[in-house]
Chain A
């Protein structure tokens, strides 16, 4: 599903965020990405989302070198990836329902089908009863779950999450991780950047460990 081949990323010509990255993630895998802050976890995810291009090497997603994508193809590529952000990236002037329906609106799905899928996604994260609420009326954990619902509403084959439990207490964090495991169980490839070592150690999935932009450990690979 994802292959990094000798990938390096420099910012501004000097600062080396990532170097000599080589790894593969198979379809249907669930992988944690960990390391201290500044180790390059976010940079790595940004490369997969094609928010950045590698300075060196190739990033191959589903058989395509994504650096070769034309700018006009990038939106269509991104629609295949669900992303959960640490700060949710919710729009605060629209209801929960309209936040979650955003990816479907962008794809031009018809309203009735949109409503059905949004409710299914909200049901999955346990927020069906809050669909009319505004994001500010929700707790941090609920906001994060709205973000997850939005990421999975168009059934992406790849789900990325950047510190999805960053600001949550342990119980909520465990719940959120449980959700990701559910999605993984139905075939979605999941990659989660997190520094919550205790939590991810308990979950027994593959862990990629970064330090100073280099891959220092690849544990639990199948």
Chain B
């Protein structure tokens, strides 16, 4: 596997946007995943931030994150459309071609898969002039869509070329979703695969999903589920997936460490993933 396919999420790293860009380049990463906050919180403003990213030669493999458009009223839908336009413009400003849309965690979330699919289709239309694709991701604590199998059902219903799936190992591990169902999903309908792990064998409470997800993730190779991540990776590769991977490791420990130390662990994780693929091919 070409390790340049593995990028890193800026939220994984401590420091300023410029420090993260420089460190990612120095560590040999070709791609980063950014969030709207990376640009909007930049001290010189979003336009300057976007220019820095473009000048860096790093590819922005994905942009975080729009919450699902699910809505019960026309007013809410129009409000969500405006939010979608705003984040699409930010993604376009850094040349990013993939916007991640996460499943709704709201207690009022829409349960109707046909309506959710219709909303994804609207996003697909909105993203078309920019050449941006929409990647739908199930959060483990999503109200109705909480596993990639649910998300795939909605994506299939949407039936749009530029609407596909984002797979996150962390969400799969939380829900203990079977990875072998992945082989039923055409490889080109998966737009991004995010990798992270955690240190506990098992988490039972949804409230804890959120806590661990936001604060206690670890790099692949460091956690308790290396075997499952390996199976996921080899399954995807053998199915013909040739898209991007990113390391998505939201962790308080990372945020409170020196950037070079976190980056060294990220590099070790890339080597670990590449070795798993190599071992699977022998």
- A complexed with B: no
Show the binding face of A for B, using Cβ within 8 Å: none
Binding site for A on B (CB under 8 A): none
